[in-house]
Amino acid sequence: MTTNAQAFSRAVLAWFDEYGRKHLPWQQQISSYRVWISEIMLQQTQVSTVIPYFERFMQRFPAVEQLAAADEDEVLHLWTGLGYYARARNLHKAAKQIVSAGEFPKGQNALEQLPGIGRSTAGAISAIAQGERAAILDGNVKRVLCRYQAIDGWPGQTSVTKQLWQLAEQCTPDQRFADYTQAMMDLGATLCTRSKPQCERCPLQQDCIAHRGGTQTEYPNRKPASQKPLRHTRMLMLVNEQGNVLLHKRPPTGIWGGLWSLPELNADTDPVEHAALHWQLQINEAEIWQNFVHTFSHYQLQITPLKSLLARPAHSIMEQGSWLWYNMQHPQELGLAAPVKKLLQRLSDQLQIGYRPRPLTITQEFSMSRTVHCLKLNKDAPGLALPPYPGAKGQWIFDNICEEAWKQWQDHQTRLINEKQLSMMNPDDRKYLTGQMDKFFSGEEFDQAEGYVPEQK
């Protein structure tokens, strides 16, 4: 280490001894596991925000074995509100790898092999919990070093990042590197802040080039400006007769990966037709709520919420795989996308958990009294109030199948779904059920099933 670097680290450590934070939750009972969790949570997130999340996480998962054994939904549920959910998914994956290996990796290079752990996070774990000298370069440290040396260029550029890593390595002392690591993060978080830095209290002010030139707020240089594109989506809040809302689990990659969200529709998709065609659900016309914008790191998403109620009770089982009816009165422990969580709260407040199916109109009441000659039962009987779904097939059923026969099919369809573990969201399963329905009503031989049919209350 050069003399200047030694002076740098001595000044930082002297300041830390007198003013540094030493009572944060992750500074107690220090272990590789606790430091790892805190470092991941602190990425892009302030200490004051992280503290309650960290404490809840540690209470539920006090050791890596408990985290590895947990369901991903539970992990994401505890992460809801922290954002950047790939961090939580990577934590879960890494925990499984650690348990499978039989021990927590030792050393910066070994730690970097785990999902979601980069060079700086590995350095923090090594230095703070494992007694290995290692440099770190998180956002706080980048800001301190950029100002201290007046380093030009956006820190995200490869050449600037390389320069900052060289400086970070030079300044890291050979002793007390655990305290030094915490001190550098503290210095950037409490004094050398992004706006209104408290230079008069900084232990590095005498040799800080940016401070001497009065240009400290110009460093680090900002990322070259670019306008974020605006994308659009519509989120359907579909409420059933119990007041529960239909949710689906998003794919593991992409935005909100692995989280539960509301079904999304394109601008030209009719919600009523979509529900009938894809879910075999009869819903009322959707109420359009005021749209709002949710901002991601690379684009903005304009969300238009749609609220609709089931027009008829759902006889098909929706809770298959990546779909469920979310109980707002007794919420399941699921990871929810931030805007979805807000919409569900607003919807819950509006419904007051007192949903009842929308009353039939006079036209619908009249139509219920209609009689058809039922081809399935070969008798005249009360017909359906409405076609079960749009299109020619729905109209044929409306004209030729009575309500009693339709109810028999719905019960049989439920048995098939439960016995064969089908999903109404799977195109192949829907095709199979449509074929079975055709055989059921035409008198052809159809597949039998003894699956459970829930009691209709």
Mind telling me the catalytic residues? 39
Residue carrying the six token digits 């359907």: 236
- 189 is written with which tokens? 């978080």
CB atoms within 10 A of CB 196: 7
Residue 402, helix vs strand vs coil: strand
The maximal CA–CA distance of the chain, rounded, in angstroms, is 100
The rounded distance, in Å, linking the Cα atoms of 41 and 54 is 8
Residue 381, helix vs strand vs coil: strand
Backbone angles phi and psi of 384, in degrees to 5: -70, 155
The rounded distance, in Å, linking the Cα atoms of 420 and 191 is 62
Residue carrying the six token digits 């947990």: 70
The rounded distance, in Å, linking the Cα atoms of 314 and 161 is 56
**Is residue 319 packed enough to be buried (19+ CB in 10 Å), middle (13-18) or exposed (0-12)?**
exposed
Under a CB-based contact definition with an 8 Å cutoff, are residues 182 and 16 in contact? yes
By DSSP bridging, strand 230-239 and strand 300-309 are: parallel
**Is residue 218 packed enough to be buried (19+ CB in 10 Å), middle (13-18) or exposed (0-12)?**
middle
- 117 is written with which tokens? 């752990």
Cis peptide before 220 (omega within 30 of 0): yes
Backbone angles phi and psi of 288, in degrees to 5: -90, 125
The DSSP annotation for 154-168 comes to -TTSHHHHHHHHHHH
- 40 is written with which tokens? 């991941």
